[in-house]
């Protein structure tokens, strides 16, 4: 997570309304490429009046149908700089962009340096918007970036034709150079850059035939692998700018409370290195010469916190608890807002030979990314503001930062370093990001300020995956097949929280993974019962799918058990008219060595069982099988098999890596993770109270990629949703215990 439902987000966004020369060290690779004359600079064409207006607002002077800021620079020495619209956060998008552009440019991706582009209309490639999330980056920009590379190649060919005095169609390219076969002459791209840059951008340059692809579809090595594996990768918390001070904060224990008197303010001011103490909305901050000194001082402050004002926003009630929220979800009554209606479920249920009912729930989850939140703010003499901060949507942060700073958006320069953890954490959430505090502190002290939240402050102010609950009722016919299904998803999704939904409409992020399932159940009714979470909620890897596919796929096994059917066989039967899904389920069965539910004895003597689940997240299709045993009442997951069909692929090695990481996070959430609230505050303030999956509990993961040729789907998140239900279904087969509330660590398990 990158973690958003792209179509829903793009629709929801519609409901809501040049980089400086002196940069921190991590951006100095740009300097290696230089800004000298002679670069070939190309960009995506802007279309329509809104795009031109955005370009003007971003400081551009675009002609209709041409790019203003550069996407691509080919330096005279042949080095290639690609300004990507997307933020690299471990998902491999920089490598994918280099592969796509390099394919059509005919340039080795290894020659690329990829950096995140600054805010600007040229980079609004996600249906007229710009964001990194929802497993949407590659599939939303694939055609655009291919055309970008093809345009650059065409311009280089035209420049070579002019220089050599030969027809354009007598020329071809090899990686990094133009070739004239008739004379054997070649020209490196770098040597042609200046001449090519003077040419107009061609309209509709021809694309390479897919059969001739050199890089797309191949396991091209990650561009960032060496820097990360040698410790040279630079993240936001590593950055420094000249003359900066460092800051730490102590937040109010509950949202809505404000700082009052500080009992030991004078003593803390006298601590080594302390520059100043500041009161901020909902927090106090210490600015010092070093961050550790700032943190120690901030933690030492003895603050009297006032109760929330009557008109305060985002107030956390003093008596709020996770148990209370779970009870409220269970008590919330329907029918709610309709998300899906097929046939007549109510009538079919009345005529069913047997009915099955169950409720499932899942807890709040933290993002728990490796890199804690940070921001550097620097006010410049010309009234502009530079911000270096982890983010997934530079233009959105630019707008809000401008509001905080009281200046125009074009005066805010956003720098987007690679993310040390993703998962949807780095979107705009109220009170969950440090950059507004950094802006205020830099203004107050008159110097650049780098603010890092400690892990404890991050756990206190993270935007959580919401707690959710779902109720199911199914009817089984006399033939043992389900004839009807009613489902209610109770709670709140991040789409509705941050972007709103139409009156009476279901929040798509609250019902995804329950509505729109492919199984041939003739009568279906799915609804969303809204109930607001007092906690700040956000997008979490695979969003609503992360819990809803657990709810649905586990209940599916309950339907199968009630009908006396094998759950794998029943899925196959109900997917008979869905060849893509059926083929995927058969593929994961074959990958696992043949489906067997269990219990059975493994070669090592352990008693094991398997569970299966399907999911359809972010335009991809996934089938998952998990094999488990028990050890001292705890679940041991030995193997997870995942068959994924993303339609079409760019880099199979990145797909496999992303599936592995998604399995790890899905398993961690199923077995261990839970944010517990009591008295209005999260009880865990670090990983000692919020355990995540340790390496010795990570299973073997087996991945099969099925390239069906369907439209390209997402990759970063789809591998997660099938893991919790596959594990829980395996546990039920092994023990006879049907677990309906995660995490599994809450339940002591034993053999049936």
Domain containing 449 — which CATH number?
Answer: 3.30.365.10
Give the per-residue SS3 of 98-136.
Answer: HHHHHHHHCCCHHHEEEEECCCCHHHCCECCECCCCCCC
Q: Residues 731, 635: one domain?
A: yes
Euclidean distance between CA atoms 130 and 41, whole angstroms: 21
CA 230, 236, 237, 241 torsion-angle sign? positive
Is 227 among the domain residues? no
SS3 (DSSP) at 517: coil
Do 213 and 351 share a structural domain? no
Cα 144 to Cα 127, 148, 204, 360, distances in angstroms: 11, 6, 11, 42
Q: Which of 423, 489, 424, 517 is nearest to 722 (CA)?
A: 517
Domain boundary among 419, 444, 461: 461
The verdict on 255 and 353 lying in the same domain is: no
Same domain, 565 and 435: no
Look up tokens 């996770």; give the residue: 322
Orientation angle between helical segments 723-735 and 545-562, nearest 10 degrees? 30
What pLDDT does residue 85 have?
Answer: 93
Pairing verdict, β 245-251 and 449-452: parallel
Place of tokens 């009046």: 49
Please state, in angstroms and rounded to a whole number, the distance separating the CA atoms of residues 619 and 137: 12
Pairing of strands 274-280, 303-306: unpaired
Q: Domain check: are 356 and 376 in the same one?
A: no
Q: What's the CA gap between 745 and 546, in Å, rounded?
A: 18
Question: Is there a single domain that holds both residue 192 and residue 127?
Answer: yes
Q: If DSSP codes are grouped into helix, strand and coil, which group holds residue 501?
A: coil
- Please name every residue paired with 188 in a beta bridge, in sequence order, or none if there are none: 177
Residues 98 and 86 in one domain: yes
Name the residue among 433, 427, 317 with its Cα closest to residue 377. Answer: 433
In a domain, 316, yes or no: no
DSSP 364: B
Written as six digits, the tokens of 421 are: 């953890």
Show the domain range for 431.
9-25+237-310+368-461
Half-sphere exposure of 335 (CA within 13 A, CB side): 11
Provide the number of structural domains found in the chain. 3
Q: Do residues 682 and 701 both lie within one domain?
A: yes
- Do 200 and 99 reside in the same domain of the chain? yes
Q: Can you give the pLDDT at residue 11?
A: 35
Instruction: Indicate whether 61 belongs to any domain.
Output: yes
- CA-closest candidate to residue 348, choices 174, 491, 522: 522
Which helix H or strand E contains 624, and what residues bound it? strand 621-631
* pLDDT number for residue 8: 38
pTM here? 0.91
**Angle of helix 567-574 versus helix 545-562 axis, rounded to 10:** 100
Q: What is the mean pLDDT of each run of 10 residues along the chain (752 residues)?
A: 37 33 30 47 44 40 35 86 93 96 96 93 84 90 91 94 96 96 95 89 90 96 94 95 98 96 98 98 98 98 95 91 98 94 98 97 96 97 97 95 97 96 92 97 98 98 97 97 98 95 95 98 98 95 97 98 97 98 98 97 96 97 98 96 97 97 98 98 97 97 97 96 98 97 92 46
Domain annotation covers residue 751: no
Boundary (domain end) residue, out of 430, 461, 492? 461
- Which is nearest to 722 in space by CA: 521, 489, 551, 511? 551
Q: Is 174 exposed, middle or buried (0-12, 13-18, 19+ CB in 10 A)?
A: exposed
Q: In the block, which residue shows the tokens 């590379």?
A: 149
pLDDT of residue 6: 38
Q: Which residues 6+ apart lie within 8 Å of 13 measured at CB?
A: 129, 499
Phi, psi of 334 (to 5 degrees): -85, -160
Q: What pLDDT, on the 0 to 100 scale, is given for residue 253?
A: 96
Residues in the chain: 752
Domain assignment present for residue 317? The answer is no
Say whether both 205 and 119 belong to one domain. Answer: yes
Alpha carbon of 126 to those of 134, 322, 442: distances in Å?
A: 11, 37, 33
What's the confidence (pLDDT) of residue 42?
Answer: 57
Residues 262, 346: one domain? no
Is there a single domain that holds both residue 658 and residue 728? yes
41 is a domain residue: no
Q: Pull the structure tokens for residue 277.
A: 């103490």
Cα-based distances in Å from 190 to 113, 197, 645: 15, 11, 39
- Strands (E) across 18-116 are located at 40-42, 72-74, 80-84, 112-116
Can you tell me the distance from the alpha carbon of 435 to that of 394, in angstroms, rounded to the nearest whole number? 13
Beta strand segments in 343-481, E:
354-362, 374-379, 385-388, 412-415, 449-452, 468-476
Using omega within 30 degrees of 0 as the cis cutoff, is the peptide bond preceding 335 cis? yes
How far CA 255 is from CA of 251, 299, 536, in Å, comes to 9, 18, 9
Neighbours of 667 (CB within 10 A): 26
On whether residue 669 sits in a domain, the answer given is yes
pLDDT of residue 292: 97
Q: Please tell me whether residue 164 adopts helix, strand or coil conformation.
A: helix
Structure tokens given for 29: 């690779």
Question: Rounded to whole angstroms, how far apart are CA atoms 571 and 267?
Answer: 67
**Residue 332 CB neighbours (<10 A):** 16
Is 135 among the domain residues?
yes
CB of 408 within 8 A of CB of 419?
no
Last residue of a domain, one of 154, 185, 220: 220
In angstroms, the CA 450 to CA 288 distance is 10
């Amino acid at each position: 997570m990158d973690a958003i439902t792209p179509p829903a987000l793009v629709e929801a966004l519609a409901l809501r309304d040049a980089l400086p020369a002196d940069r921190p060290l991590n951006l100095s690779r740009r300097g290696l490429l230089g800004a000298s004359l002679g670069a070939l600079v190309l960009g995506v064409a802007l279309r329509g009046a809104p795009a031109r207006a955005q370009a003007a607002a971003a400081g551009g002077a675009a002609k209709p149908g041409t790019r203003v800021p550069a996407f691509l620079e080919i330096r005279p020495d042949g080095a290639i700089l690609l300004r990507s619209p997307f933020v690299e956060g471990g998902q491999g998008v920089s490598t994918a962009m280099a592969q796509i552009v390099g394919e059509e440019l005919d340039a080795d991706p290894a020659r690329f340096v990829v950096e995140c582009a600054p805010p600007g209309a040229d980079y609004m490639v996600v249906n007229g918007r710009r964001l990194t999330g929802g497993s949407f980056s590659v599939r939303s920009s694939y055609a655009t970036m291919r055309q970008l590379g093809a345009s650059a190649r065409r311009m280089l060919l035209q420049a070579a034709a002019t220089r050599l005095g030969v027809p354009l169609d007598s020329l071809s390219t090899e990686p990094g150079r133009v070739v004239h076969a008739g004379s054997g002459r070649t020209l490196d791209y770098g040597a042609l850059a200046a001449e090519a840059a003077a040419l107009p951008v061609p309209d509709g340059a021809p694309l390479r035939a897919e059969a001739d692809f050199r890089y797309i579809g191949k396991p091209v090595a990650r561009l960032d692998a060496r820097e990360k594996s040698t410790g040279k990768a630079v993240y936001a918390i590593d950055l420094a700018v000249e003359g900066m001070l460092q800051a730490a904060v102590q937040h109010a224990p509950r949202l809505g409370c404000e700082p009052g008197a500080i009992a030991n303010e004078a003593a803390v001011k006298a601590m080594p290195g302390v520059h100043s103490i500041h009161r901020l909305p909902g927090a106090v901050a210490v600015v010092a010469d070093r961050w550790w000194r700032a943190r120690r001082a901030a933690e030492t402050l003895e603050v009297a916190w006032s109760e929330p004002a009557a008109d305060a926003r985002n107030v956390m009630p003093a008596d709020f608890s996770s148990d209370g929220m779970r009870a409220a979800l269970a008590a919330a009554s329907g029918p709610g807002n309709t998300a899906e209606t097929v046939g007549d479920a109510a009538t079919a249920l009345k005529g069913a030979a047997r009915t099955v009912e169950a409720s499932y729930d899942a807890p709040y989850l933290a993002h728990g990314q490796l890199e804690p939140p940070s921001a550097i703010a620097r006010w410049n003499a010309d009234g502009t503001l530079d911000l270096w901060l982890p983010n997934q949507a530079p233009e959105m942060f630019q707008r809000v930062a401008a509001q905080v700073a009281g200046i125009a958006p074009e005066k805010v320069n956003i720098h987007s370093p690679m993310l040390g953890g993703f998962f949807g954490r780095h979107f705009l959430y109220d009170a969950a990001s440090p950059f507004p505090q950094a802006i205020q502190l830099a203004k107050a002290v008159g110097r650049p300020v780098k603010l890092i939240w400690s892990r404890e402050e991050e756990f206190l102010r993270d935007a959580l995956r919401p707690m959710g609950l779902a109720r199911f009722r199914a009817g089984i016919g006399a033939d043992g097949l389900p004839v009807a299904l009613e489902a209610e998803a109770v709670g709140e999704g991040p789409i509705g929280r941050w972007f709103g939904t139409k009156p009476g409409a279901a929040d798509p992020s609250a019902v995804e993974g329950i509505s729109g399932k492919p199984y041939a159940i003739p009568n279906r009714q799915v609804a969303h019962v809204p109930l607001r979470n007092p906690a700040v909620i956000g997008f979490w890897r695979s969003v609503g799918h992360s819990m809803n596919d657990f709810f649905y796929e586990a209940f599916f096994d309950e339907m199968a058990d009630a009908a006396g059917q094998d759950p794998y066989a029943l899925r196959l039967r109900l997917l008979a008219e869905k060849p893509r899904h059926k083929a995927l389920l058969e593929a994961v069965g074959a990958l696992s060595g043949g489906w067997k539910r269990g219990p059975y004895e493994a070669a090592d003597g352990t008693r094991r069982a398997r569970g299966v689940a399907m999911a359809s997240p972010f335009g991809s299709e996934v089938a998952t099988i998990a094999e488990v045993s028990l050890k001292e009442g705890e679940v041991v997951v030995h193997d997870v098999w995942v068959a994924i069909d993303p339609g079409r692929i760019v880099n199979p090695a990145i797909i496999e890596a992303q599936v592995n990481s998604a399995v790890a996070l899905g398993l961690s959430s199923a077995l261990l993770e839970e944010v517990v609230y009591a008295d209005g505050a999260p009880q865990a303030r670090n990983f000692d109270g919020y355990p995540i999956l340790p390496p010795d509990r990570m299973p073997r993961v087996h991945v099969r990629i099925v390239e069906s040729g369907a439209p390209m789907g997402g990759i970063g998140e789809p591998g997660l949703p099938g893991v919790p239900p596959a594990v829980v279904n395996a546990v039920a087969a092994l023990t006879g215990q049907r677990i309906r509330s995660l995490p599994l660590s809450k339940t002591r398990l034993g053999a049936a």
